[in-house]
Amino acid sequence: MEQWWREGIPLVAAMDARIEKLDDRELIVCAPLAPNRNHMATAFGGSLLALATLTGWGIAKLLAGETATHVVIQRSQMKFLRPVNGQLRARCRWPDDKERKRFDKSLARKNRARIDLEITLFSDTTKAAEFSGRFAALRDTGYG
Amino acid sequence: MEQWWREGIPLVAAMDARIEKLDDRELIVCAPLAPNRNHMATAFGGSLLALATLTGWGIAKLLAGETATHVVIQRSQMKFLRPVNGQLRARCRWPDDKERKRFDKSLARKNRARIDLEITLFSDTTKAAEFSGRFAALRDTGYG
């Protein structure tokens, strides 16, 4: 997925965002401070928003599964809690089984499904921001 | 300000964001699609969030005035309305006189002030997303 991001989204390469961890519990995407800094040598808010968007999109895309399913972000909220002066890290946990079943069922029946995901941002290991995003998966049925 | 952005925030250069207009009514910041695209050849949501953040930050920084005043984003909300398949454009209008007076007064009295700004995102000239951001200005008094 990381390679696919870098090829398809130039900003991912500019941010030097990388997958630090992907297991059955969570996805963690990290990026070094240098290419994401602002004038105060802390992380640019736009970089934190982009990293959170990417991380949530990653989980939603993995949930949706097939390559013929587009995943788009529909809305987001962010609370910036403290400046990030270390490595940028964004963590998204998998939704619970109930949520995943609801998502799968909707995608199978209606060729579309929505999921709300919570992404936590860290400065190294210190919590720095909270992001909520709503993502929609749309299966390309070939019928327009 | 554009030069200052590009020097201090590497992501601004990576996005190729430029000030299209700054007058007594509004600030418009634009960026070409190519460096901000995703796999679907539309704008990456993270790029739209970063452009909106930059534009709101620009107005807040100009309101705050002095170089010794830091401006930070505290929270944001975004509604993505339609894909952006043209130039990315973000517009922020100046707050009204009443809001500006309240902001100036708070900064003068308390060395800090907040302002809520609405940023509209366009695909070329078509409205594509709505961003609300709360920005805080903090004057460095030299007293820590």
Token pair in block for residue B17: 């964001």
The residue assigned the tokens 């964004």 is A90
Give domain status of residue A32, yes or no.
Answer: yes
| A86 touches B at CB < 8 Å | no
Please give the Cα distance from B121 to A63 (Å, whole number). 29
B49 contacts A53? CB cut-off 8 A: yes
Give domain status of residue A144, yes or no.
Answer: no
Please give the Cα distance from B62 to B56 (Å, whole number). 10
Give domain status of residue B78, yes or no.
Answer: yes
Please give the Cα distance from B32 to B37 (Å, whole number). 9
Residue ranges in chain A assigned as alpha helix (H): 2-8, 10-15, 45-64, 97-110
What's the whole-number mean pLDDT along residues A48-52? 98
Low-confidence ranges of chain B (pLDDT < 50): 144
| B38 touches A at CB < 8 Å | yes
Mean pLDDT of chain A: 94
Q: What is the pLDDT of residue A144?
A: 46
Of A37, A49, A70, the CB nearest to B10: A37
User: Are the CB atoms for B53 and A36 separated by under 8 Å?
Assistant: no
Q: What is the pLDDT of residue B111?
A: 92
Give domain status of residue B144, yes or no.
Answer: no
B11 contacts A35? CB cut-off 8 A: yes
pTM of the model: 0.95
pLDDT in tens, A101-130: 999 999 999 999 999 999 999 999 999 999
Q: What are residue A122's DSSP bridge partners?
A: A89, A127
The ipTM value here is: 0.95
| B47 touches A at CB < 8 Å | yes
Looking up residue B27, the CATH number of its domain turns out to be: 3.10.129.10
Token pair in block for residue B116: 């809520």
A77 contacts B77? CB cut-off 8 A: yes
Domain hosting A112: range is 2-139
Q: What is the pLDDT of residue B3?
A: 86
Residue of A nearest to B84 (CA): A72
Q: What is the pLDDT of residue B67?
A: 65
Give domain status of residue B58, yes or no.
Answer: yes
Please give the Cα distance from A114 to A103 (Å, whole number). 7
| A27 touches B at CB < 8 Å | no
Give domain status of residue A104, yes or no.
Answer: yes
Which residues of chain B make contact with A45, given a CB cutoff of 8 A? 53, 57, 72-73, 76
User: Are the CB atoms for A15 and A36 separated by under 8 Å?
Assistant: yes
pLDDT at A94 over 80: yes
Give domain status of residue A20, yes or no.
Answer: yes
Q: What is the pLDDT of residue A69?
A: 82
Specify the number of domains making up chain A.
1
